[in-house]
């Protein structure tokens, strides 16, 4: 094999494994995937009585999985993007995708739902990017937040640390500001690592902004903030 690039996958383990499979299937013999999550997802908390809510909002796949793991059911739910929607539909939910960010999700809710029809439940993690609850409250909705999972920081594996130190990581797909922030913190503590030839592949401008103080080869941003656009960006990088 020639021109094989090493990609460091830092998403939670289940999502990194899924991404690695997609890369290996879609771009055979183009990449070696090195998995080293920078956070682990742990379900926590209790489900509120969701019979009083007119709809449930999911802003991540992790939220759907935690909701299901804790026995949650939903008559109607709205999801931030296609991947989250697919997971919700696979769980048997009537799910609608905003196909974007929390901004698009807010607009979709305002278009489809009426404040007088009841409150809305937002499933989220302990840390979240973008406050959709605040945005919807400004539109007159009552939004209750349920924190159903934590994002615990993980240390990089020895293999990942060695690859970064030796300058052997060519691509770094990043899917959330939190992951980017945690990776940035790790690099700041290890200034001797060689990342001048590493390209960060970011799902959004918000993710890229977390890398502004790092020394990287390039920072590239997906055309849209969703999994399909990220996979396309990874494919372009591997050509």
- Residue-wise pLDDT for 72-106, tens only, equals 887 799 999 999 999 999 999 999 999 888 899 99
Q: Within a domain: residue 235?
A: no
Inter-CA distances, 34 with 27, 39, 109, Å? 15, 15, 38
- The rounded mean pLDDT for the chain is 93
Predicted pLDDT of residue 72: 87
Q: Within a domain: residue 191?
A: no
Phi, psi (rounded to 5 degrees) for 187 = -65, -40
Q: Within a domain: residue 2?
A: no
Which domain CATH number covers 60? 3.40.50.10090
Q: Within a domain: residue 227?
A: no
> Is the pLDDT at 186 greater than 90, yes or no?
yes
SS3 47: coil
**For range 145-161, the mean pLDDT:** 95
**For range 169-190, the mean pLDDT:** 95
Predicted pLDDT of residue 130: 62
CA distance 28 to 31: 7
pTM of the model: 0.86
- Residue-wise pLDDT for 11-35, tens only, equals 999 999 999 999 999 999 999 999 9
Number of domains, the chain: 1
**For range 176-193, the mean pLDDT:** 94
Write out the DSSP string of 101-124: -HHHHHHHHHHH--GGG--EEEEE
Q: Within a domain: residue 113?
A: yes
C-beta separation of 83 from 65 below 8 A: no
User: Could you tell me the pLDDT band of residue 2, with boundaries at 50, 70 and 90?
Assistant: low
Tell me the residue range of the domain where 97 lies.
51-151
Q: Within a domain: residue 32?
A: no
Q: Within a domain: residue 190?
A: no
Q: Within a domain: residue 143?
A: yes
Inter-CA distances, 125 with 7, 131, 146, 151, Å? 26, 12, 8, 7
């Amino acid at each position: 094999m020639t021109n094989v690039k090493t990609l460091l996958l830092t998403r939670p383990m289940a999502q990194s494994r899924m991404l690695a499979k997609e890369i290996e299937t879609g771009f055979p013999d183009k990449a070696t995937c090195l998995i080293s999550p920078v956070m682990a997802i742990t379900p926590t908390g209790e489900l509120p009585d969701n019979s009083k809510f007119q709809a449930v909002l999911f802003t991540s796949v992790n939220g759907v999985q935690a909701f299901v793991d804790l026995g949650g059911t939903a008559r109607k739910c709205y999801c931030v993007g296609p991947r989250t929607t697919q997971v919700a539909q696979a769980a048997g939910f009537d799910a609608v995708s905003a196909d974007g960010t929390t901004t698009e999700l807010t607009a979709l809710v305002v278009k489809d739902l009426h404040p007088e029809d009841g409150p809305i439940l937002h499933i989220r993690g302990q840390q979240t990017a973008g406050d959709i609850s605040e945005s919807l409250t400004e539109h007159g909705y009552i939004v209750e937040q349920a924190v159903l999972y934590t994002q615990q920081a993980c240390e990089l594996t020895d293999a990942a640390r060695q690859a970064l130190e030796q300058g052997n990581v060519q691509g770094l797909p990043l899917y959330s500001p939190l992951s980017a922030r945690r990776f940035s913190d790790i690099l700041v503590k290890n200034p001797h690592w060689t990342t001048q030839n590493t390209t960060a592949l970011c799902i959004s401008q918000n993710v890229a902004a977390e890398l502004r103080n790092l020394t990287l080869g390039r920072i590239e941003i997906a055309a849209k903030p969703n999994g399909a656009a990220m996979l396309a960006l990874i494919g372009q990088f591997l050509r």
